[in-house]
Amino acid sequence: MQHHKEFHYHVLVPILLVLIFLPDAVRGQPNMDVEWKPELTEVWEPVPPIVTPGDGMNPPSDAVILFDGKNLDQWKSNDGGEAGWDVSGCIMTVTAGAGDIHTTRSFGDVQLHIEWRTPAEVEGEGQGRGNSGVFLQDQYEIQILDSFDNATYSNGQAGALYKQHIPLVNASRGPGEWQTYDIMFLAPVFSEDGKLVRAAFVTLIHNGVLIQNHVELRGPTLYIGLPTFTAHGRLPIRLQDHGNPTSFRNIWVREI
Ligand code: MG
């Protein structure tokens, strides 16, 4: 009887270890972790791939360019046709009524860089001032808004995970000034039978300032109500037409 009990505890430890490390395995990232042995100091393999860093308006060498100022070839409209936003002077601007635009490609986990500018001439207030948004995988919105001296609900200001996470600080620049979002997005993971294995997570740096630190999403962005995740795979990135002429430039993404 005694021997039987000990056997059970012995088996339990490796099972617990597997459970602890399961999320990384499920994520499917290439494993660059060191196999940990107490006597190990220098580790030479694997060698991380070389990426030439970006500089100003030049993206890193392994980035997928989504907008370089020339055209909207990487984007399509709500109905799958040509994206109807204005492109001029190396920037694109929301054409009110043209609808949201979607990347032609689909993505999972990404690092996304996007530069945006709300109109220099301030019109409207609250949610009606320079409103747009970055929807990761078509359904998780990071709010874009002129939040410079513009009161609105905190979970809907610039840098909010809309209605889910208030930004840590307000790092907004003024109307008419270019602003940057650097977004680290971990897509939700689902089991084969559609159950949520890992929620989506977002880290957001606004104008060089950390404003969302690995926050967990509760589900897709909803205007009202409690969201729940529904199983999906890779999906496009979407930019919102909220009726305000917000502009964009230098958009690129790196798959993680
Ligand atoms: Mg919005």
Span from the CA of 179 to the centroid of ligand 1 (angstroms): 16
Q: How far, in Å, is the centroid of ligand 1 from the Cα of 90?
A: 23
Taking the centre of ligand 1 as the mean of its atom positions, its distance from the CA of residue 227, in whole angstroms, is 17
Of the listed ranges 9-23, 81-95, 115-129, 177-191, the least confidently predicted one is 9-23
- State the distance from the centre of ligand 1 to the C-alpha of 158, rounded, in angstroms: 9
Mean pLDDT score, 117-127:
96
Mean pLDDT computed over 173-180: 98
Position 22 scores a pLDDT of: 55
- In the reported structure, the alpha carbon of residue 137 is separated from the centroid of ligand 1 by a whole-number distance in angstroms of 15
69 Cα–ligand 1 center, Å: 22
Distance from the CA of 147 to the center of ligand 1, in angstroms? 12
| Cα-to-centroid distance, 65 and ligand 1 (Å) | 23
Detail the DSSP E strand segments found in the chain.
64-67, 75-76, 86-88, 91-93, 101-103, 110-117, 132-136, 140-144, 179-186, 189-190, 196-198, 201-206, 209-216, 238-239, 247-255
**Cα(240) to centroid of ligand 1, in Å?**
6
pLDDT computed for residue 25 by the predictor: 45
pLDDT tens for 201-243 read: 999 999 999 999 999 999 999 999 999 999 999 999 999 999 9
State the amino acid at position 53 in one-letter form.
P
Give domain limits for the chain: 64-255
Confidence class for position 38, pLDDT limits 50, 70, 90: confident
Name the architecture of domain 64-255. Sandwich (2.60)
56 CA to middle of ligand 1, Å? 27
Q: How far is the CA of 188 from the centre of ligand 1 (A)?
A: 21
Where is average pLDDT lowest: 53-57, 98-102, 177-181, 234-238? 53-57
- What is the bridge-based pairing of β-strands 132-136 and 140-144? antiparallel
Mean pLDDT of the chain: 91
Q: How far is the CA of 189 from the centre of ligand 1 (A)?
A: 25
Q: 217 CA distance to ligand 1 centroid (A)? A: 17
Kindly give, in sequence order, each residue whose CB lies less than 8 Å from that of residue 72, ignoring residues fewer than 6 positions away: 82, 83, 85, 87, 92, 101
pTM: 0.86
* Nearest of 233, 241, 227 to residue 130 by alpha carbon: 241
Using the mean position of ligand 1's atoms as its centre, give its distance from the Cα of residue 31 in Å: 36
